A and B are shown apart, each in its own frame.
Chain A
Amino acid sequence: MAEKLGKIGRKSIWLFHFNASGCNGCDIEFAASVTSRYDLERFGIQLVPSPRHADVLVVTGAVNRLTRDSLKMIYDQIPEPKVVIALGSCACSGGIFNGCYNVAGGVDKVIPVDIYIPGCPPKPDAIVEALAKLAGILEKKKKNLKGEKNGSKKD
Protein backbone atom coordinates (compact mmCIF):
# COMPACT_ATOMS: atom_id res chain seq x y z
CA MET A 1 0.00 0.00 0.00
CA ALA A 2 2.91 2.28 0.63
CA GLU A 3 4.02 2.02 -3.00
CA LYS A 4 0.89 3.93 -3.92
CA LEU A 5 2.34 7.06 -2.32
CA GLY A 6 5.73 6.59 -3.91
CA LYS A 7 9.16 6.83 -2.35
CA ILE A 8 9.04 10.52 -1.46
CA GLY A 9 5.32 10.54 -0.71
CA ARG A 10 5.90 8.06 2.08
CA LYS A 11 8.23 10.36 3.93
CA SER A 12 5.72 13.19 4.26
CA ILE A 13 2.15 12.05 4.72
CA TRP A 14 -0.57 14.63 5.29
CA LEU A 15 -3.68 13.31 7.01
CA PHE A 16 -7.21 14.59 6.72
CA HIS A 17 -9.72 13.29 9.28
CA PHE A 18 -13.43 12.87 8.63
CA ASN A 19 -15.92 11.84 11.33
CA ALA A 20 -18.64 9.93 9.42
CA SER A 21 -21.13 9.60 12.32
CA GLY A 22 -18.93 7.70 14.73
CA CYS A 23 -19.21 7.75 18.52
CA ASN A 24 -16.01 9.91 18.56
CA GLY A 25 -14.21 7.26 20.58
CA CYS A 26 -11.93 6.69 17.58
CA ASP A 27 -11.70 10.45 17.00
CA ILE A 28 -10.26 11.19 20.43
CA GLU A 29 -7.84 8.26 20.02
CA PHE A 30 -6.82 9.64 16.63
CA ALA A 31 -6.43 13.13 18.08
CA ALA A 32 -4.42 11.61 20.96
CA SER A 33 -2.08 9.99 18.46
CA VAL A 34 -1.10 13.51 17.31
CA THR A 35 -0.32 14.76 20.82
CA SER A 36 2.99 14.53 22.60
CA ARG A 37 2.99 10.95 23.78
CA TYR A 38 2.40 9.25 20.44
CA ASP A 39 3.51 12.13 18.18
CA LEU A 40 2.82 11.27 14.56
CA GLU A 41 4.96 14.19 13.43
CA ARG A 42 8.19 12.22 13.84
CA PHE A 43 7.18 10.28 10.67
CA GLY A 44 6.56 13.55 8.88
CA ILE A 45 2.82 13.12 9.34
CA GLN A 46 0.72 16.24 9.79
CA LEU A 47 -2.94 16.99 10.19
CA VAL A 48 -3.96 19.33 7.37
CA PRO A 49 -7.06 21.51 7.43
CA SER A 50 -8.20 21.16 3.83
CA PRO A 51 -8.84 18.07 1.70
CA ARG A 52 -6.94 19.71 -1.13
CA HIS A 53 -3.66 19.42 0.81
CA ALA A 54 -4.27 15.87 2.03
CA ASP A 55 -2.69 12.57 0.97
CA VAL A 56 -4.46 10.22 3.34
CA LEU A 57 -8.14 10.38 4.31
CA VAL A 58 -8.79 8.89 7.76
CA VAL A 59 -12.47 8.03 8.21
CA THR A 60 -14.00 7.07 11.54
CA GLY A 61 -17.51 5.86 12.26
CA ALA A 62 -20.11 3.84 10.38
CA VAL A 63 -21.34 6.10 7.62
CA ASN A 64 -24.92 7.26 8.15
CA ARG A 65 -27.19 8.54 5.44
CA LEU A 66 -26.46 12.24 5.82
CA THR A 67 -22.68 11.96 5.99
CA ARG A 68 -22.50 9.56 3.05
CA ASP A 69 -22.74 12.32 0.44
CA SER A 70 -20.27 14.51 2.30
CA LEU A 71 -17.86 11.57 2.53
CA LYS A 72 -18.08 11.01 -1.23
CA MET A 73 -17.54 14.71 -1.91
CA ILE A 74 -14.54 14.94 0.41
CA TYR A 75 -13.07 11.81 -1.21
CA ASP A 76 -13.33 13.39 -4.66
CA GLN A 77 -11.66 16.59 -3.49
CA ILE A 78 -8.44 14.88 -2.44
CA PRO A 79 -5.70 15.02 -5.12
CA GLU A 80 -4.65 11.80 -6.75
CA PRO A 81 -2.12 9.64 -5.00
CA LYS A 82 -4.52 9.15 -2.09
CA VAL A 83 -4.96 6.43 0.50
CA VAL A 84 -8.09 5.85 2.60
CA ILE A 85 -7.78 4.49 6.12
CA ALA A 86 -10.88 3.09 7.85
CA LEU A 87 -10.19 3.63 11.55
CA GLY A 88 -12.08 1.55 14.10
CA SER A 89 -14.49 -1.36 13.80
CA CYS A 90 -17.40 0.93 12.88
CA ALA A 91 -15.54 2.27 9.86
CA CYS A 92 -14.28 -1.19 8.88
CA SER A 93 -17.62 -2.92 8.83
CA GLY A 94 -20.28 -0.92 10.66
CA GLY A 95 -19.18 -2.61 13.90
CA ILE A 96 -21.83 -2.69 16.59
CA PHE A 97 -24.21 -0.49 14.62
CA ASN A 98 -24.76 -3.09 11.91
CA GLY A 99 -28.45 -3.49 11.38
CA CYS A 100 -29.43 0.04 12.45
CA TYR A 101 -31.68 1.61 9.83
CA ASN A 102 -29.65 4.78 9.30
CA VAL A 103 -26.21 3.19 9.03
CA ALA A 104 -24.60 2.14 5.73
CA GLY A 105 -22.34 -0.29 7.56
CA GLY A 106 -18.72 0.51 6.94
CA VAL A 107 -16.81 2.98 4.81
CA ASP A 108 -16.05 0.51 2.02
CA LYS A 109 -19.70 0.60 1.02
CA VAL A 110 -19.21 4.24 0.02
CA ILE A 111 -15.56 4.75 -1.04
CA PRO A 112 -12.70 2.30 -1.78
CA VAL A 113 -10.72 1.69 1.42
CA ASP A 114 -7.00 0.81 1.46
CA ILE A 115 -6.13 0.21 5.10
CA TYR A 116 -8.44 -1.16 7.80
CA ILE A 117 -7.59 -0.64 11.47
CA PRO A 118 -10.15 -2.57 13.51
CA GLY A 119 -10.48 -1.95 17.24
CA CYS A 120 -13.10 -0.26 19.30
CA PRO A 121 -11.33 2.16 19.55
CA PRO A 122 -7.87 1.14 18.28
CA LYS A 123 -5.20 2.27 20.72
CA PRO A 124 -3.07 5.25 19.59
CA ASP A 125 -0.12 2.84 19.51
CA ALA A 126 -1.97 0.79 16.90
CA ILE A 127 -2.62 3.95 14.85
CA VAL A 128 1.03 4.96 15.18
CA GLU A 129 2.16 1.50 14.07
CA ALA A 130 -0.20 1.47 11.11
CA LEU A 131 0.98 4.87 9.91
CA ALA A 132 4.61 3.95 10.54
CA LYS A 133 4.06 0.92 8.36
CA LEU A 134 2.49 3.16 5.75
CA ALA A 135 5.50 5.44 5.95
CA GLY A 136 7.67 2.39 5.31
CA ILE A 137 9.72 3.06 8.40
CA LEU A 138 8.64 0.12 10.46
CA GLU A 139 10.53 -2.43 8.35
CA LYS A 140 13.76 -0.40 8.57
CA LYS A 141 13.40 -0.17 12.35
CA LYS A 142 12.70 -3.86 12.72
CA LYS A 143 15.68 -4.79 10.60
CA ASN A 144 18.06 -3.09 12.98
CA LEU A 145 16.37 -4.71 15.98
CA LYS A 146 18.96 -7.52 15.71
CA GLY A 147 16.94 -9.75 13.53
CA GLU A 148 13.26 -10.48 13.57
CA LYS A 149 11.51 -10.06 16.92
CA ASN A 150 10.07 -13.20 18.57
CA GLY A 151 8.06 -14.60 15.74
CA SER A 152 6.46 -12.51 13.00
CA LYS A 153 4.12 -9.91 14.51
CA LYS A 154 0.62 -10.65 13.35
CA ASP A 155 -0.03 -7.60 11.28
Chain B
Amino acid sequence: MIGIDVLFTSLVFPGLLFSVAMAFWFQYLERKIVARIQRRIGPLYTGPHGLFQPLYDFLKMLFKEEIIPENTDKLYYRIAPVLAVVIPIYGMALIPIICYKCALNFEGDFLFTLFLFSLSVFTTAIAGYAVYSPYSSVGVGRLIVQYSIYESFLALSLAIAALQTSIIDFSGLLQYQTIHGPLVFYQPIGFVVAIIALIAKLEKPPFDLPHAKQEIVAGWMTEYSGRGLAFLKLSKDLSMVWGISLISTVYLGGPLGPLFPEAGPVGLLWFAIKCLAISLVIIFVRAVSGRTRVYGLAERLWARVIPLVVLQFIIAVLVRWYM
Protein backbone atom coordinates (compact mmCIF):
# COMPACT_ATOMS: atom_id res chain seq x y z
CA MET B 1 0.00 0.00 0.00
CA ILE B 2 1.69 3.26 -1.02
CA GLY B 3 2.12 5.56 1.97
CA ILE B 4 -0.21 8.51 2.24
CA ASP B 5 2.76 10.89 2.34
CA VAL B 6 4.11 9.49 -0.95
CA LEU B 7 0.74 10.17 -2.54
CA PHE B 8 0.68 13.58 -0.93
CA THR B 9 4.14 14.57 -2.14
CA SER B 10 3.62 13.31 -5.67
CA LEU B 11 0.07 14.59 -6.13
CA VAL B 12 -0.27 17.68 -4.00
CA PHE B 13 2.72 19.37 -2.45
CA PRO B 14 5.79 19.56 -4.66
CA GLY B 15 4.06 17.38 -7.22
CA LEU B 16 1.04 18.07 -9.38
CA LEU B 17 -1.02 20.79 -7.78
CA PHE B 18 1.82 22.87 -6.36
CA SER B 19 3.92 22.82 -9.52
CA VAL B 20 0.96 23.60 -11.78
CA ALA B 21 0.11 26.54 -9.52
CA MET B 22 3.76 27.64 -9.59
CA ALA B 23 3.75 27.27 -13.40
CA PHE B 24 0.76 29.58 -13.71
CA TRP B 25 2.32 31.98 -11.23
CA PHE B 26 5.61 32.18 -13.14
CA GLN B 27 3.80 32.60 -16.47
CA TYR B 28 1.72 35.40 -14.97
CA LEU B 29 4.85 37.01 -13.48
CA GLU B 30 6.64 36.84 -16.79
CA ARG B 31 3.77 38.35 -18.76
CA LYS B 32 3.32 41.15 -16.24
CA ILE B 33 7.00 42.08 -15.94
CA VAL B 34 7.67 41.88 -19.69
CA ALA B 35 4.58 44.06 -20.22
CA ARG B 36 5.78 46.56 -17.64
CA ILE B 37 9.22 46.73 -19.25
CA GLN B 38 7.45 47.49 -22.50
CA ARG B 39 5.56 50.28 -20.71
CA ARG B 40 2.16 48.56 -20.95
CA ILE B 41 -0.14 46.77 -18.49
CA GLY B 42 -0.17 43.01 -18.63
CA PRO B 43 -3.34 40.95 -18.18
CA LEU B 44 -5.70 42.88 -15.93
CA TYR B 45 -9.29 41.76 -15.95
CA THR B 46 -9.19 38.09 -14.98
CA GLY B 47 -9.01 37.79 -11.23
CA PRO B 48 -7.20 40.31 -8.98
CA HIS B 49 -4.79 42.17 -11.31
CA GLY B 50 -5.19 39.46 -13.93
CA LEU B 51 -3.73 36.73 -11.73
CA PHE B 52 -5.93 33.98 -13.19
CA GLN B 53 -5.09 34.79 -16.81
CA PRO B 54 -2.89 31.69 -17.38
CA LEU B 55 -5.58 29.54 -15.74
CA TYR B 56 -8.23 30.95 -18.10
CA ASP B 57 -5.94 30.40 -21.10
CA PHE B 58 -5.46 26.77 -20.04
CA LEU B 59 -9.17 26.11 -19.41
CA LYS B 60 -10.17 27.82 -22.67
CA MET B 61 -7.81 25.63 -24.64
CA LEU B 62 -9.20 22.52 -22.95
CA PHE B 63 -12.68 23.22 -24.24
CA LYS B 64 -11.65 24.12 -27.78
CA GLU B 65 -12.17 21.67 -30.62
CA GLU B 66 -9.07 19.65 -31.36
CA ILE B 67 -8.30 19.38 -35.06
CA ILE B 68 -5.97 16.50 -35.90
CA PRO B 69 -4.49 17.14 -39.35
CA GLU B 70 -4.62 14.11 -41.69
CA ASN B 71 -1.69 11.68 -42.02
CA THR B 72 -0.35 12.53 -38.57
CA ASP B 73 0.84 9.73 -36.30
CA LYS B 74 -2.20 9.46 -33.98
CA LEU B 75 -0.34 7.56 -31.23
CA TYR B 76 2.47 10.07 -30.83
CA TYR B 77 0.07 12.97 -31.32
CA ARG B 78 -1.87 11.82 -28.22
CA ILE B 79 1.02 10.67 -26.04
CA ALA B 80 3.54 13.46 -26.52
CA PRO B 81 1.58 16.22 -24.71
CA VAL B 82 0.77 13.92 -21.79
CA LEU B 83 4.38 12.75 -21.47
CA ALA B 84 5.60 16.33 -21.75
CA VAL B 85 3.53 17.23 -18.68
CA VAL B 86 4.28 14.10 -16.62
CA ILE B 87 8.08 14.34 -16.66
CA PRO B 88 8.41 17.81 -15.13
CA ILE B 89 5.80 16.97 -12.47
CA TYR B 90 7.67 13.82 -11.53
CA GLY B 91 10.90 15.81 -11.42
CA MET B 92 9.31 18.42 -9.18
CA ALA B 93 8.09 15.75 -6.79
CA LEU B 94 11.71 14.81 -6.09
CA ILE B 95 12.78 18.31 -5.07
CA PRO B 96 12.93 18.61 -1.25
CA ILE B 97 11.19 21.80 -0.14
CA ILE B 98 10.03 21.55 3.41
CA CYS B 99 12.25 18.70 4.59
CA TYR B 100 15.79 17.33 4.20
CA LYS B 101 14.50 13.97 3.02
CA CYS B 102 10.95 13.97 1.80
CA ALA B 103 8.84 10.93 1.06
CA LEU B 104 9.95 10.38 -2.49
CA ASN B 105 13.65 11.05 -2.11
CA PHE B 106 15.85 8.00 -2.61
CA GLU B 107 19.57 7.41 -2.67
CA GLY B 108 20.68 8.69 -6.13
CA ASP B 109 17.79 11.03 -6.92
CA PHE B 110 19.96 13.97 -8.01
CA LEU B 111 21.52 11.79 -10.71
CA PHE B 112 18.07 10.55 -11.69
CA THR B 113 16.88 14.15 -12.00
CA LEU B 114 19.76 14.89 -14.38
CA PHE B 115 18.61 12.01 -16.55
CA LEU B 116 14.97 13.18 -16.43
CA PHE B 117 16.08 16.69 -17.24
CA SER B 118 17.60 15.65 -20.54
CA LEU B 119 14.73 13.22 -21.31
CA SER B 120 12.04 15.90 -21.28
CA VAL B 121 13.28 17.34 -24.60
CA PHE B 122 12.48 14.17 -26.48
CA THR B 123 8.80 14.40 -25.65
CA THR B 124 8.62 17.73 -27.48
CA ALA B 125 10.64 16.23 -30.33
CA ILE B 126 8.10 13.41 -30.63
CA ALA B 127 5.30 15.99 -30.55
CA GLY B 128 6.92 17.86 -33.45
CA TYR B 129 7.63 14.83 -35.60
CA ALA B 130 4.18 13.36 -35.07
CA VAL B 131 2.75 15.96 -37.43
CA TYR B 132 3.24 16.07 -41.21
CA SER B 133 4.02 19.79 -41.56
CA PRO B 134 7.29 21.36 -42.62
CA TYR B 135 7.07 23.99 -39.90
CA SER B 136 7.00 21.44 -37.13
CA SER B 137 9.67 19.30 -38.77
CA VAL B 138 11.87 22.39 -39.16
CA GLY B 139 11.03 23.50 -35.62
CA VAL B 140 12.04 20.15 -34.22
CA GLY B 141 15.22 20.21 -36.31
CA ARG B 142 16.14 23.46 -34.60
CA LEU B 143 15.05 22.07 -31.24
CA ILE B 144 17.48 19.17 -31.54
CA VAL B 145 20.28 21.48 -32.72
CA GLN B 146 19.70 23.78 -29.78
CA TYR B 147 19.35 20.86 -27.39
CA SER B 148 22.63 19.35 -28.47
CA ILE B 149 24.31 22.67 -27.74
CA TYR B 150 22.95 23.60 -24.33
CA GLU B 151 22.56 20.10 -22.84
CA SER B 152 26.30 19.54 -22.74
CA PHE B 153 27.11 22.37 -20.38
CA LEU B 154 23.85 22.20 -18.46
CA ALA B 155 24.62 18.65 -17.31
CA LEU B 156 28.30 19.60 -16.84
CA SER B 157 27.57 22.54 -14.55
CA LEU B 158 25.20 20.43 -12.41
CA ALA B 159 27.65 17.54 -12.39
CA ILE B 160 30.43 19.85 -11.18
CA ALA B 161 28.24 20.74 -8.21
CA ALA B 162 27.91 17.04 -7.46
CA LEU B 163 31.66 16.60 -8.01
CA GLN B 164 32.61 19.21 -5.46
CA THR B 165 30.27 17.81 -2.83
CA SER B 166 30.78 14.16 -3.94
CA ILE B 167 27.14 13.55 -3.09
CA ILE B 168 24.49 12.45 -5.55
CA ASP B 169 21.27 13.00 -3.67
CA PHE B 170 19.39 16.10 -2.63
CA SER B 171 19.36 15.55 1.12
CA GLY B 172 23.14 15.10 1.12
CA LEU B 173 23.51 18.28 -0.93
CA LEU B 174 21.36 20.19 1.52
CA GLN B 175 23.38 18.91 4.49
CA TYR B 176 26.63 19.88 2.72
CA GLN B 177 25.31 23.36 2.11
CA THR B 178 24.08 23.85 5.66
CA ILE B 179 27.68 23.23 6.77
CA HIS B 180 29.66 24.99 4.04
CA GLY B 181 27.11 27.59 2.93
CA PRO B 182 25.37 27.72 -0.48
CA LEU B 183 27.35 26.29 -3.39
CA VAL B 184 27.06 29.52 -5.36
CA PHE B 185 29.94 31.02 -3.35
CA TYR B 186 32.20 28.22 -4.57
CA GLN B 187 30.76 27.91 -8.07
CA PRO B 188 29.44 31.26 -9.30
CA ILE B 189 30.32 30.43 -12.95
CA GLY B 190 28.47 27.12 -12.72
CA PHE B 191 25.43 29.01 -11.45
CA VAL B 192 25.47 31.52 -14.32
CA VAL B 193 26.06 28.79 -16.92
CA ALA B 194 23.16 26.76 -15.51
CA ILE B 195 20.85 29.77 -15.84
CA ILE B 196 21.93 30.40 -19.46
CA ALA B 197 21.34 26.72 -20.26
CA LEU B 198 17.95 26.86 -18.56
CA ILE B 199 16.95 29.84 -20.74
CA ALA B 200 17.95 27.83 -23.80
CA LYS B 201 16.02 24.79 -22.53
CA LEU B 202 12.88 26.82 -21.96
CA GLU B 203 13.19 28.28 -25.50
CA LYS B 204 12.89 31.80 -24.18
CA PRO B 205 14.44 34.59 -26.17
CA PRO B 206 17.36 34.97 -26.94
CA PHE B 207 17.16 31.24 -27.72
CA ASP B 208 13.53 30.86 -28.89
CA LEU B 209 14.46 29.44 -32.28
CA PRO B 210 12.40 26.23 -32.14
CA HIS B 211 9.10 28.10 -32.06
CA ALA B 212 10.10 31.46 -33.51
CA LYS B 213 6.84 33.29 -33.83
CA GLN B 214 7.91 35.46 -36.75
CA GLU B 215 9.87 32.82 -38.63
CA ILE B 216 8.43 29.36 -38.62
CA VAL B 217 4.88 29.97 -37.51
CA ALA B 218 4.91 28.20 -34.16
CA GLY B 219 7.65 25.61 -34.75
CA TRP B 220 6.78 22.24 -33.30
CA MET B 221 3.56 23.60 -31.74
CA THR B 222 2.04 24.63 -35.09
CA GLU B 223 -0.41 21.80 -35.63
CA TYR B 224 -1.59 21.45 -32.05
CA SER B 225 -4.91 22.87 -30.94
CA GLY B 226 -7.25 22.38 -28.04
CA ARG B 227 -6.18 19.84 -25.39
CA GLY B 228 -2.82 18.97 -26.94
CA LEU B 229 -1.84 22.63 -27.11
CA ALA B 230 -3.01 23.22 -23.54
CA PHE B 231 -0.77 20.44 -22.23
CA LEU B 232 2.22 21.48 -24.36
CA LYS B 233 2.08 25.06 -23.16
CA LEU B 234 1.62 23.84 -19.59
CA SER B 235 4.63 21.54 -19.98
CA LYS B 236 6.78 24.50 -21.00
CA ASP B 237 5.79 26.41 -17.88
CA LEU B 238 6.25 23.30 -15.72
CA SER B 239 9.76 22.77 -17.04
CA MET B 240 10.45 26.41 -16.15
CA VAL B 241 9.31 25.78 -12.57
CA TRP B 242 11.28 22.56 -12.43
CA GLY B 243 14.49 24.10 -13.83
CA ILE B 244 14.32 27.06 -11.46
CA SER B 245 13.69 24.93 -8.38
CA LEU B 246 16.49 22.53 -9.41
CA ILE B 247 19.01 25.36 -9.75
CA SER B 248 17.88 27.01 -6.53
CA THR B 249 18.17 23.72 -4.63
CA VAL B 250 21.60 22.87 -6.03
CA TYR B 251 23.23 26.27 -5.92
CA LEU B 252 21.34 28.37 -3.41
CA GLY B 253 20.34 25.60 -1.05
CA GLY B 254 16.59 25.60 -1.69
CA PRO B 255 14.83 25.54 1.70
CA LEU B 256 17.92 26.43 3.79
CA GLY B 257 17.51 29.56 5.83
CA PRO B 258 17.82 30.84 9.41
CA LEU B 259 15.41 28.65 11.37
CA PHE B 260 14.78 26.00 8.69
CA PRO B 261 15.08 22.58 10.33
CA GLU B 262 12.95 23.44 13.32
CA ALA B 263 9.92 25.06 11.67
CA GLY B 264 9.47 23.03 8.44
CA PRO B 265 7.16 25.36 6.43
CA VAL B 266 9.63 28.25 6.76
CA GLY B 267 11.76 26.37 4.22
CA LEU B 268 8.99 26.97 1.70
CA LEU B 269 9.41 30.71 2.25
CA TRP B 270 13.17 30.66 1.56
CA PHE B 271 12.66 28.39 -1.41
CA ALA B 272 10.05 30.76 -2.85
CA ILE B 273 12.33 33.78 -2.43
CA LYS B 274 15.25 32.09 -4.17
CA CYS B 275 13.06 30.82 -7.02
CA LEU B 276 11.61 34.31 -7.41
CA ALA B 277 15.10 35.78 -7.70
CA ILE B 278 16.15 33.33 -10.40
CA SER B 279 12.90 33.75 -12.31
CA LEU B 280 13.31 37.54 -12.25
CA VAL B 281 16.74 37.14 -13.82
CA ILE B 282 15.35 34.87 -16.55
CA ILE B 283 12.38 37.15 -17.22
CA PHE B 284 14.63 40.19 -17.44
CA VAL B 285 16.95 38.51 -19.91
CA ARG B 286 13.91 37.44 -21.94
CA ALA B 287 12.53 40.98 -22.07
CA VAL B 288 15.74 42.65 -23.14
CA SER B 289 17.16 40.35 -25.78
CA GLY B 290 16.35 39.49 -29.40
CA ARG B 291 16.59 36.11 -31.03
CA THR B 292 19.98 34.85 -32.12
CA ARG B 293 20.45 33.33 -35.55
CA VAL B 294 21.33 29.64 -35.76
CA TYR B 295 24.86 30.59 -36.79
CA GLY B 296 25.08 32.80 -33.69
CA LEU B 297 23.67 30.04 -31.51
CA ALA B 298 26.75 27.80 -31.75
CA GLU B 299 29.44 30.45 -31.52
CA ARG B 300 27.57 32.44 -28.84
CA LEU B 301 26.87 29.49 -26.60
CA TRP B 302 29.60 27.00 -27.28
CA ALA B 303 32.60 29.20 -27.84
CA ARG B 304 32.02 31.43 -24.82
CA VAL B 305 30.49 29.07 -22.32
CA ILE B 306 32.51 25.85 -22.56
CA PRO B 307 35.83 27.46 -21.47
CA LEU B 308 33.99 28.90 -18.47
CA VAL B 309 32.70 25.47 -17.51
CA VAL B 310 36.18 23.92 -17.80
CA LEU B 311 37.58 26.69 -15.59
CA GLN B 312 34.79 25.98 -13.10
CA PHE B 313 35.68 22.28 -13.25
CA ILE B 314 39.28 23.00 -12.24
CA ILE B 315 38.18 25.26 -9.39
CA ALA B 316 35.77 22.57 -8.13
CA VAL B 317 38.52 19.95 -8.13
CA LEU B 318 40.87 22.34 -6.23
CA VAL B 319 38.14 23.21 -3.70
CA ARG B 320 37.33 19.54 -3.14
CA TRP B 321 41.02 18.65 -2.78
CA TYR B 322 41.54 21.55 -0.37
CA MET B 323 38.23 21.13 1.52
Contacts and interface: CB of A to CB of B under 8 A. Distances in A.
A81 B43 contact: no
B283 to A, nearest CB: 15
Contacts of B43: 41-44
Contacts of A6: 63
A53 interface: yes
B223 interface: yes
Contacts of B221: 50, 53
Contact of B60 (A8, A35, A52): A8
A113 B147 CA distance: 43
Contacts of B66: 79
A79 B50 CA distance: 26
A61 B1 CA distance: 65
A11 B43 CA distance: 10
Specify the main secondary structure of chain B where it touches its partner.
loop
Contacts, number: 89
A11 B135 CA distance: 29
A137 interface: yes
Interface string A115-155: 00000000000000000000101000000000000000000
Interface in B202-221: 213-214, 217-218, 221
Contact of B39 (A36, A43, A49, A135): A36
Contact of A53 (B35, B46, B53, B229): B229
Contacts of B64: 9, 55, 79-81
Contacts of B35: 39, 41
Contacts of A135: 45
Given A79-B66, A81-B64, A42 B222 contact: no
Contacts of B214: 49
A155 B45 CA distance: 22
A67 interface: no
B63 A9 contact: yes
Contacts of B46: 11-12, 44
Most chain B beta-carbon neighbours within 10 Å: one of A11, A35, A137: A11
Contact of B59 (A8, A41, A81): A8
Interface string B280-306: 000000000000000000000000000
Interface string B97-132: 000000000000000000000000000000000000
Interface of A: 6, 8-9, 11-12, 35-37, 39, 41-44, 48-50, 52-53, 55, 77, 79-81, 135, 137
26 contacts: A6-B63, A9-B64, A11-B45, A36-B39, A37-B40, A39-B40, A41-B31, A41-B35, A41-B41, A42-B40, A42-B41, A42-B44, A42-B50, A43-B43, A44-B43, A44-B56, A49-B222, A50-B218, A52-B223, A53-B225, A53-B229, A79-B64, A79-B225, A79-B226, A81-B63, A81-B65
